[in-house]
Amino acid sequence: MGWYADDIERIIVSEEQIKERTKELAEQVAADYADRDGVLLVGVLKGAVMFMADFARAFPLPTELEFMAVSSYGQAATSSGVVRILKDLDRDIADKHVIVCEDIVDSGLTLSWLLRYLASRGAASIEVVAFLRKPDAVKVDVPVKYVGFDIPNEFVVGYGLDYAERYRELPFVGVLKPEVYSR
Ligand SMILES: O=P(O)(O)OC[C@H]1O[C@H](OP(=O)(O)OP(=O)(O)O)[C@H](O)[C@@H]1O
Ligand code: HPA
Ligand SMILES: [Mg+2]
């Protein structure tokens, strides 16, 4: 765990579990999209970067990759509910079969906003693959067809997920020790 060994209280999803579940998810999604001609994966930066890279490589159908960057958490551990576009799509998505790649659905506020936005851009179909979901934290109901793991309502870091921009590079998902927040 390098620099962060002392900051992690416990591991929620191990590196092994990530690998196994990502492969399963990719195969499940591909089975549903086998008859479409092409899929556009839209990764939501920055959190989804690790998951999207692993998912895309395990996904056995032709894909194109697009990225959006939005932020609703900033430096905080709870969502502000205000979603800002930091980076928009680079291209037209009209008539594309879009699969949104998210690292986590927490309150659902980010995704709910994003799904409306992508629909307004004319996608042919839109589904979501989210690596993590917190069923007890949801504030708005969003249709998430594919979920890697349902996890408890605790703030987690690693595998793309940050606390104040740190810990994204950890290869697993873990919970921080409470004292980290009071530093
Ligand atoms: O369901 P919600 O409560 O809306 O939370 C989920 C969103 O929050 C995080 O993004 P964040 O705003 O922290 O940006 P980041 O991906 O750059 O860390 C995460 O990556 C999701 O996009
Ligand atoms: O639990 C979380 N950890 C990191 N970023 C997040 N964004 C929403 N929920 C989380
Ligand atoms: Mg964040």
Say which ligand is closest to the CA of 43: 1
0.95 exceeded by pTM: no
Say whether pLDDT at 6 is over 90. no
State the average pLDDT over residues 127-145: 95
Residue 2 banded pLDDT, cuts 50, 70, 90: low
Ligand 1, atom 4, lies closest to the CA of: 110
Mean pLDDT of the chain: 92
Asked if residue 157 lies in contact with residue 150, where contact means CB atoms within 8 angstroms, the answer is no
- Name the CA dihedral angle for 53, 51, 169, 12, rounded to a multiple of 10 degrees: -150
List, for residues 59-106, the tens digit of each pLDDT value.
999 999 999 998 876 666 666 667 889 999 999 999 899 999 999 999
* Cα–ligand 3 centroid distance for 164 (angstroms): 7
Complex ipTM value: 0.98
Report the separation in Å between the CA atom of 161 and the middle of ligand 3, taken as the mean of its atom positions: 6
Among 42, 52, 75, 79, name the best residue to mutate to test ligand 1's pocket (greatest count of ligand atoms within 8 A of Cβ).
79
- Say whether pLDDT at 1 is over 90: no
Q: Using the predicted structure, report yes or no on whether residue 53 has a pLDDT greater than 80.
A: yes
Higher pLDDT, 110 or 4: 110
pLDDT in tens, 139-149: 999 999 999 99
Greater model confidence, 40 or 73: 40
Q: Which of 42, 45, 70, 72 to mutate to test the pocket of ligand 1 (most atoms within 8 A of CB)?
A: 72
Q: Percentage of the chain with pLDDT > 70?
A: 93
**Distant-in-sequence contacts of 46-49, Cβ < 8 A, 24+ apart:** 46/160, 46/162, 46/168, 47/102, 47/103, 47/104, 47/160, 47/161, 47/162, 47/168, 48/101, 48/102, 48/103, 48/131, 48/160, 49/160, 49/168
For ligand 2, whether the C-beta of 66 sits within 6 Å is no
* Annotated catalytic residue 90: no
Q: Where are the domains of the chain?
A: 15-153
At 172, is the pLDDT very low, low, confident or very high (cuts 50, 70, 90)? very high
SS3 45: strand
Atom 21 of ligand 1, residue of closest alpha carbon: 104
Q: What is the mean pLDDT of residues 96-123?
A: 94
* Residue 24 CA to ligand 3 centre (angstroms): 26
Distance 137 CA to ligand 1 centre (A): 13
Q: Which ligand is closest to the CA of 164, given by its number?
A: 3
CATH 3.90.1310.10 for the 15-153 domain, yes or no? no
